[in-house]
Amino acid sequence: MGCTSVSGTGAQESSDRLESLTSWDADWAGLRVVVTGIGLSGFSAADTLIELGARVVVCDSSDSEENRAKADTLRIVGAVDVLLGAEAAATLPQVDGEAPELVVTSPGWRPDQPLLAAAAAAGIPVWGDVELAWRVRVRRGRSTAEWLTITGTNGKTTTVTLAESMLRAGGLRAIAAGNVGTPLLDAIRDPQGYDVIAVELSSFQLHWSSSLAPLASVCLNLAEDHVDWHGGFEAYRAAKAMIYENTRVACVYNAEDEATERMVEDADVQEGCRAIGFTTNTPAISMLGVVDGLLVDRAYIEQRKDSAAELASVTDLGEVVPRHLVANALAAAALVRAAGVPAAAVREGIRNYQPSGHRIELVAARDGVLWINDSKATNPHAAHAALSSFSSVVWIAGGLSKGVDYNSLVRDNAARFKAAVLIGRDSSDLAAALSRHAPDVPVIVPAAGHTGRDELPSQHSSSDGVQAMRAAVTEALRIAVDGDTVLMAPAAASMDQFPSYAHRGTAFIEAVRGIVEGQGFTAKEL
């Protein structure tokens, strides 16, 4: 059953009550809440609200076996209604026969989704799980942990996990949470507690957050992405800029990305907060940067006008060190230095760091050819970062474009391309950009059995993603010679052919290993 709008005295009382909910110990009992989604963040939000004593209804459009099992678990922990199936996401339900006072949404739900649109029309506030986590972080008068918040079009997960490693090397109990790994509410409720949480925030999560006040924050970079979700680039930019609002100690920005510096200039921060830049070049005062192959700090030392503190060597980051990895390490260092982590712990944290897969991952090397998996490059900005690390590239690319523009990516890297091998059910936008800006570069479309530009796979192609990847690797092997890099950096999402970017990356790794075995040489794993 749908619900009507909340108005008059009841609406004011509900608003006043929500404003007062700024700690775990506030009066949450009986609060009527609808939670959208029963995935990781939605389940965690529902579980938390049940523990707080709220009355909860959970809605999810998927009536899967997994979701039914989660629903059973929630019913065991407390009083909750769980609505599954397409109709559950179509209308705003009542809670115990009354209009809800609050909606807590999972980040993937778009603002124009019918249930959320109905909440907005009824004047019912919508929070994300991050907003809820911020409000319950204070318990018995004490904050559970300091927050270091990280966003950006690309590099978030690398930066947040690097920060986690540096914080732990500095002797702090720390965890990376949010849009990566552990749901933020689970970290907040950890029985032992944490000193610092490195919080990865997507633009979706920031859209549904309003009261965060982190110790330090960073937007790593800004490029076109998720314009379909936000309804346009400016809305996407505005969501990313929310990362800096109310920051207390340090707003960290990318000195090589002017948009992030403008975000800091426009942000409403707390008194005494500093702007700290990072650059892969020589740093100015109040920046971190690189000098003679060393990561250095000219921001958090007293003698910053004429000296810098050594943090680490670029080679501490690994065997293949693309420029954007250096930038991510500097951003992480700038955040943790704001939290008091010493320089020596930054180096130790970098050396202890275990990178996650599918990011500039060396899969094999033979006869001077490198085979690199960067399946995490799900948009043009990420693909550009990977492409700019190599000089002669056989590029495996394509997939679900999410409405982005490929022209600048191809134009800026045209001189690097030896050939392009296209995957994806419909890579016509990418093929068109190649034709426009790299007309002399051969374009191979294995799924079409063609080496020209005029027979692209249909959007309705039933080609299996794994088979398509094997065909792409076979074509790349035919082309690559000594000095080339075969780079799988799709510049697109994976969902048209694969369940996830990780599945796509695994398909590439397995295809390379199979072809490597067939050619009689040995793959090298990082």
**Which residue, among 120, 116, 118, 99, has the nearest Cα to 107 in the 3D structure?**
116
Backbone angles phi, psi at 219, to 5 degrees: -110, 115
Question: 151, 219 in Cβ contact below 8 A?
Answer: yes
Residues annotated within the binding site for ATP are 152-158
Q: HSE, CB side, 13 Å, CA atoms: give it for residue 10.
A: 11
Q: What angle is formed at CA 497 by the lines to CA 494 and CA 499, rounded to 5 degrees?
A: 65
**d(Cα 59, Cα 390) in Å, to the nearest integer?**
47
Which of 260, 387, 385, 237 is closest to 334 using CA atoms?
260
Nearest to 399 by CA among 431, 443, 373, 367: 431
Binding region: 152-158
DSSP per-residue codes, 133-166: HHHH-EETTEES-EEEEEE-SS-HHHHHHHHHHH
Cβ-count burial 364-374 (b if 16+ within 10 Å, e if not)? bbbeebbbbbb
Cα–Cα distance for residue pair 494/486, rounded to 1 Å: 19
Sheet with 196-200, edge to edge strand ranges:
174-178, 196-200, 146-151, 216-219, 250-254, 274-278, 287-291, 294-297, 309-313
- Structural contact between residues 220 and 254, judged by C-beta atoms closer than 8 angstroms: yes
Cβ atoms 258, 233 nearer than 8 A = no
Q: What DSSP string describes 454-489?
A: S-PPPTT----HHHHHHHHHHHHHHH--TT-EEEE-
3-state secondary structure 323-347: HHHHHHHHHHHHHHHHCCCCHHHHH
DSSP conformation class of 450: B
For helices 156-169 and 323-338, what crossing angle results, to 10°?
50
